């Protein structure tokens, strides 16, 4: 009997050692898996917090993924403003007999992204302004985009006079508060042109070139070093008859000179040359 019990006891000890080795191997594999896993187990010092929108609820079933890509695209965020092509604001000015050239200039400069203000001064008859407004309203592209505005209450403008500056400021205000609807400018650069001007490049090429430039770059030379302009432009007294008369006349220069102001400093602005496509500014 003792000889028969010895093999049974030996077999039981072998089975026990085999089970212990298997259990130890499984425990080691589990510990190794937990050590290499990127997820961390919650401990007494760390807790998980879910926002109300992220907590699963039984009342809100899971929604299936959209079947069409358009639904996903509609939820996508709009592209950044810097990635969009630039937008130009144009003032096209003219006088009597310039309505035809203004239409030609507008169509040559037109792009749906841009903004346009057309100003025929008070010397032009009202019929020219009405015809220009009717042309814009009847044109299928111009009327659909709605980015062309004809100034109805025209100003009388004297060449090289202060009324040229007031007309430019009037157009800028119309672009800021009209097209921008009081929210500021929705354009990047302002360009002042005459009805006799004609572009040498297309608007697509112009947008492509200016897309490489920072949006806060301007082409105005703003300086307080006025040198000879102090005597030639700051001290003379000029009377613009278009400010108080209904008919256009020449500027009137007063013989006397005025002294330079002492309470503030004078600055002048001048036009800078546009960089060529081969310049280092556009290649950087």
- Report pLDDT for 149: 92
252 Cβ contact list (under 8 Å, min separation 6): 238, 239, 241
- Report pLDDT for 269: 67
- Report pLDDT for 119: 94
Mean pLDDT, range 56-66, rounded to an integer: 51
Q: Is residue 98 pLDDT above 90, yes or no?
A: yes
Answer whether residue 145 is part of any domain.
yes
DSSP string, 203-226: HHHHHHHHTTS-TT---EEEES--
Stretch among 42-51, 56-65, 172-181, 191-200 having the lowest mean pLDDT? 42-51
Q: Is 88 exposed, middle or buried (0-12, 13-18, 19+ CB in 10 A)?
A: buried
Answer whether residue 225 is part of any domain.
no
Answer whether residue 195 is part of any domain.
yes
Total domain count, the chain: 1
Answer whether residue 239 is part of any domain.
no
Answer whether residue 31 is part of any domain.
no
Answer whether residue 115 is part of any domain.
yes
pLDDT for 22-33, tens place per residue? Answer: 677 777 677 766
Residue 204 belongs to domain spanning:
83-215
Find out whether 151 and 174 touch, Cβ atoms under 8 Å: yes
Q: Is residue 92 pLDDT above 60, yes or no?
A: yes
Answer whether residue 170 is part of any domain.
yes
pLDDT for 248-277, tens place per residue? Answer: 778 878 888 888 888 878 777 665 444 444
Residues in the chain: 284
pLDDT band at 87 (very low <50, low <70, confident <90, very high): very high
- Report pLDDT for 43: 45
Element of type H or E holding 280:
helix 280-283
Answer whether residue 264 is part of any domain.
no
């Amino acid at each position: 009997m003792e000889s028969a019990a010895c093999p049974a006891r030996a077999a039981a000890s072998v089975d026990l050692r085999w089970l212990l080795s298997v259990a130890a191997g499984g425990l080691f594999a589990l510990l190794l898996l937990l050590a290499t896993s990127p997820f961390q187990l919650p401990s007494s010092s760390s807790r998980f917090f879910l926002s109300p929108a992220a907590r699963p609820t039984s009342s809100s079933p899971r929604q299936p993924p959209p079947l069409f890509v358009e639904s996903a695209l509609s939820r996508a965020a709009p592209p950044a403003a810097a990635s969009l092509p630039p937008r130009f604001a144009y003032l096209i000015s003219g006088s009597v007999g310039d309505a035809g050239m203004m239409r030609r200039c507008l169509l040559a400069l037109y792009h749906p992204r841009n903004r346009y203000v057309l100003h025929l001064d008070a010397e032009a008859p009202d019929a020219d302004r009405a015809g220009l407004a009717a042309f814009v309203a009847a044109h299928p592209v111009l009327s659909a985009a709605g980015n062309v505005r004809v100034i109805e209450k025209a100003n009388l403008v004297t060449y090289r006079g202060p009324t040229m500056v007031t007309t430019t400021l009037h157009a800028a205000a119309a672009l800021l508060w009209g097209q921008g609807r009081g929210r500021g400018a929705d354009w990047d650069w302002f360009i002042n042109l005459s009805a006799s001007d004609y572009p040498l490049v297309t608007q697509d090429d112009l947008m492509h070139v200016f897309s490489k430039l920072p949006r806060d770059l301007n082409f105005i030379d703003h300086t307080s070093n006025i040198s000879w302009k102090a005597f030639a432009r700051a001290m003379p007294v000029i009377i613009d008859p278009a400010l108080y008369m209904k008919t256009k006349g020449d500027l009137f220069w007063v013989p006397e000179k005025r002294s330079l102001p002492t309470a503030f400093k004078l600055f002048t602005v001048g036009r800078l040359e546009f960089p060529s496509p081969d310049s280092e500014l556009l290649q950087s």
